Amino acid sequence: MTTLTAPGRTAVPSRPEGAARPFALVRHSVALAGRSLVKTRRTPEQLIDVTLQPILFLVMFLYLLGGAVAGSTHAYLQTLLPALMVMNTAFASVQTGINLNDDIKKGVFDRFRSMPIARSAPLIGSVLGDLIRFVILIVVQLGFGYAVGFRVETGLLPALAACLLVMFFAFCLSWLFVLIGMLVREPGAVQGVGFMAMFPLTFGTNVLVPTDTLPGWLGTWVDVNPVTGVMEAARGLMVEGPVAGPVLESVLWSAGLFAVFFPLAVRAYLRRT
């Protein structure tokens, strides 16, 4: 059999259906983020850690420690709530790695491989879709905080900036747990490793007590802990205190976490799938 080319035409090699196009990765990732939102809406029990946990932590720490640490629950609430908002979003980022590990075990990502989409789009889309969990957590935390007496003292725009900064840090931190989710075999193992990493990062801060009341070695860890900087930035933006230094430190730490763990997570994902 002989293939003939019509006169005056030049044969052009066909382009694979899944070939890369401008902004294809962004479009595919956003579309798959929508899938993640639909999945969350259909399984609302996945939102327990961003709806009930913030309330539980706030009630427990506020009424157990408020009088002893600050002399009154109201004074303690003003410094506790912004820090708890950071702590709870950091804990919520662990769930991203758990969900991805579970989807890979169930073969969901094997089906994505047969679609004409960018290879890493399902991974990025899942992480973007989880941003809604951070939004829900912050709304619940602030809503319940206002119900028990918390008040923003700086204004609406600084408070909004604090919420966006906390979400940005949690998004960047979540790539660490995506990497863990790609490296271990079971979702339970992701949760165990993730929580083991999160406890010194979140509780090893001044979330509950001032740094100057801690032993020297622990105070040193608190000072270099990236989560401490985000907590100080959130307090400064929502209540009072330094703003420029903690915000700059938080942005730099967030960018550093993303620069290190995003490429590692994508590489581990490509190897596993």
pLDDT value at residue 14: 36
Give me the chain's average pLDDT, please.
86
Q: Is residue 8's pLDDT more than 50?
A: no
Positive or negative torsion for Cα 261, 263, 264, 269: positive
Which segment of 18-22, 244-248, 269-273 scores lowest on mean pLDDT? Answer: 18-22
Mean predicted confidence (pLDDT) in 2-7: 48
pLDDT value at residue 144: 96
Positive or negative torsion for Cα 69, 195, 227, 141: negative
Residue 163 structure tokens: 């919420």
pLDDT value at residue 72: 86
Exposure letters 90-117 (e unless 16+ CB within 10 A, then b)? bbbbbbbbbbbbebbeeeebeebeeeeb
Angle, alpha carbons 77-81-87 (nearest 5°): 140
Exposure letters 60-80 (e unless 16+ CB within 10 A, then b)? ebbeeebeebbeebeebbbbb
Strand blocks (E) in the chain: none
Per DSSP, 46 falls in state G
What tens digit of pLDDT does each residue of 203-243 get?
Answer: 999 999 988 888 989 999 999 999 999 999 999 999 988 89
Instruction: Give the confidence band of 21 by pLDDT, cuts at 50, 70, 90.
Output: low
pLDDT value at residue 145: 95
d(C-alpha 94, C-alpha 176), whole Å: 9
pTM tops 0.75: yes
Mean predicted confidence (pLDDT) in 16-21: 43
